[in-house]
Structure 1
Amino acid sequence: MNGNIRLLNDTLAAAKEQGRAALIAYLPAGFPTVDGGIAALAAVVHSGADIVEVGLPHSDPVLDGPVIQTAADIALRGGTRIADVIRTVRETYRATGKPVMVMSYWNPIDRYGAERFAAELAAAGGAGCILPDLPVQESARWRGQAAAHGLATVFVVAPSSTDERLHEIAAVASGFVYASALMGVTGSGASVGDAANALVRRIRAATELPVCVGIGVSNAEQARRIAEFADGVIVGTAFVRAMLDAPDETAGLVSLRALTGELADSVRRKHALT
């Protein structure tokens, strides 16, 4: 089974050929409901997102800010399980034909079984996994299963990451490298810019993989700035907040479409690759 890593690679390459960054949108599975989450993901793709990340809700989301934690709690209280995450991937891929990643902490996948999860994710059309808390030194078992099923393994690096760690990740990562725009949790509201640019430059010195920047990107102006030097711009908290602030799911989808349109316009302006 080949999975959809080729679709992911082709999507990022196509954006680069067009002289722009890719827009990557994150929303957790099961939020506000499983069906509502699938509709939300389809809405952002049809409104301009190039790639989507489906969050696997976890009871101890240590890297997530309060907005995403609230959404994950809603999903878990609604009974969302890994089977629902896989269904979300499958239906989103079928509805959009775009790359669908899963963003997850390692513990739920480890407990579910790495081989089982990789096989089900690939069968659903998933392109790979972003694993923010899996140390690269302990990732061989997962990477073996991911490679066997044609899935990308994306690691997250922070501005504090050493050059040694960057080279360790570059040697084994696939798909792209996820660069954190700032230190801290998602949605922290701090400014982004110079630190993220410097980190992207350091990563590019270690790998030819695309570098996508997230954690701290919350509006169109920040996305535009990141798109000047990154291959992809990852936005999560702003999408989740749009759904949380809406009076109902229908209004939430309207807000999502409008926000996606603004972000897509901002990253599609021709930018200078560094």
Structure 2
Amino acid sequence: MPPPASPSRIAAAFSRARAEGRSAFVAYLCAGDPDLETSVAACRTVIENGVDVLELGVPFSDPVADGVTNQLAAQRALTAGIGRAQVLELVRRIRAFSEVPIVFYTYFNLVFTGGIENYVSEARAAGVDGLLTLDLPPEEAGELCAACAKHGMETVFIVAPTTPEERIRRIAASATGFIYYVSREGVTGVRDSLVAGLGEAVAQIKAHTALPVVVGFGISTREHVRQVAAIADGVVVGSLLVNVIAQNLGSEEAICAALRAQMRELTPGLARA
């Protein structure tokens, strides 16, 4: 079984960002959106333009944590015939040119079907570094966590604005890669402004873990990135990038050019004063 890297790709990415005086850029793209070849090109583009951790959404027919933007991306991928084999192929294609950490953003039905350990083993062998299983609470994740530990796969869990402190402690104890703080209640999607109290929320999580804490949901401008980078170890941008793909369907060249421009607009906000 492949052992975890030493240090892991995830830990190394956050360590490198800290050493460079900035927050890490975590980018979300839906695997296979709008098709496998274009998805490979889109992933290459964001990686080559400042992504520290690549979060790949695994297409699912009932993505309950996702807003319309990411739901439509999943539908495009599913319509293009993207399933488990194609998602793993995408990871292998990325590994041919990059060592960027890859985290699967997925749902438990996809992990459970066919066997939890088999899923973890196959994903790890393809080159996946971590699993964020949106609808699996840590209280019910014992089998998955055990499989991840066995195969050198890191775990990522979510803390929400409504999470009480006792549960934050439990979530922190279950995670091995990083903690993902959802900055607002509801589903994913671009927002005009960030919610208040992010600094206090991140500090509360950090009181229970030495793992990196990233903040996502709704980050859509350089100013948003700057505000989050000042308090968190990582900034997650998803729907904004997925919208770029949706707005340029039919032209891989246009998609990559627009993603490149968007990354160049956002990444200067990562620097800490």
TM category (shorter chain) comes to over 0.9
What does residue range 255-270 of structure 1 map to in structure 2 within 5 Å? 255-267=258-270, 269-270=271-272
Question: Following the alignment from structure 2 to structure 1, what is the Cα–Cα distance between the partners of residues 178 and 136?
Answer: 16
Deviation string 1:191-212 (CA, Å, 9 cap, x unpaired) is 2153322221110011111100
Superposition misfits of 4+ residues, deviation over 6 angstroms: none
SS at match of 1:57: coil
Q: CA deviation at 1:190?
A: 5.2
Structure 2 residue aligned with 1:56, among 55, 58, 62? 58
Contact 1:3 1:122 (C-alpha < 8 Å) held by counterparts? no
Asked if residue 251 in structure 1 is aligned to residue 254 in structure 2, the reply is: yes
Q: Which moved more, 1:91-100 or 1:250-259?
A: 91-100
Question: Following the alignment from structure 2 to structure 1, what is the Cα–Cα distance between the partners of residues 135 and 220?
Answer: 22
Amino acid paired to 1:200: V
- The size of the alignment, in residue pairs, is 270
Question: Following the alignment from structure 1 to structure 2, what is the Cα–Cα distance between the partners of residues 170 and 99?
Answer: 20
Question: Following the alignment from structure 2 to structure 1, what is the Cα–Cα distance between the partners of residues 81 and 185?
Answer: 32
Task: Tell me which residue corresponds to 2:16.
Answer: 14
Tell me the TM-score normalized by structure 1: 0.95
Amino acid paired to 2:169: H
What does residue range 212-227 of structure 1 map to in structure 2 within 5 Å? 212-227=214-229
Question: Following the alignment from structure 1 to structure 2, what is the Cα–Cα distance between the partners of residues 96 and 173?
Answer: 25
Contact 1:182 1:196 (C-alpha < 8 Å) held by counterparts? no
Q: CA deviation at 1:184?
A: 1.1
Deviation string 1:108-142 (CA, Å, 9 cap, x unpaired) is 11113211111111111111111121111000100
Question: Following the alignment from structure 1 to structure 2, what is the Cα–Cα distance between the partners of residues 154 and 184?
Answer: 19
Q: CA deviation at 1:3?
A: 4.1
Task: Tell me which residue corresponds to 1:182.
Answer: 184
Structure 2 residue aligned with 1:139, among 138, 141, 158? 141
| Sequence identity (%) | 37
Q: What runs of 5+ residues in structure 2 fail to find an aligned partner?
A: none
Question: Following the alignment from structure 1 to structure 2, what is the Cα–Cα distance between the partners of residues 9 and 264?
Answer: 20
What does residue range 24-35 of structure 1 map to in structure 2 within 5 Å? 24-35=26-37
Question: Following the alignment from structure 2 to structure 1, what is the Cα–Cα distance between the partners of residues 36 and 29?
Answer: 11
Q: CA deviation at 1:188?
A: 4.9
SS at match of 1:155: strand
* Alpha-carbon RMSD: 1.3
Amino acid paired to 1:2: P
Contact 2:159 2:182 (C-alpha < 8 Å) held by counterparts? yes
Asked if residue 242 in structure 1 is aligned to residue 244 in structure 2, the reply is: yes
Tell me the TM-score normalized by structure 2: 0.95
Q: CA deviation at 1:186?
A: 0.6
SS at match of 1:67: helix
Q: What runs of 5+ residues in structure 1 fail to find an aligned partner?
A: none
Amino acid paired to 1:40: A
Q: CA deviation at 1:48?
A: 0.8
What does residue range 70-219 of structure 1 map to in structure 2 within 5 Å? 70-189=72-191, 191-219=193-221
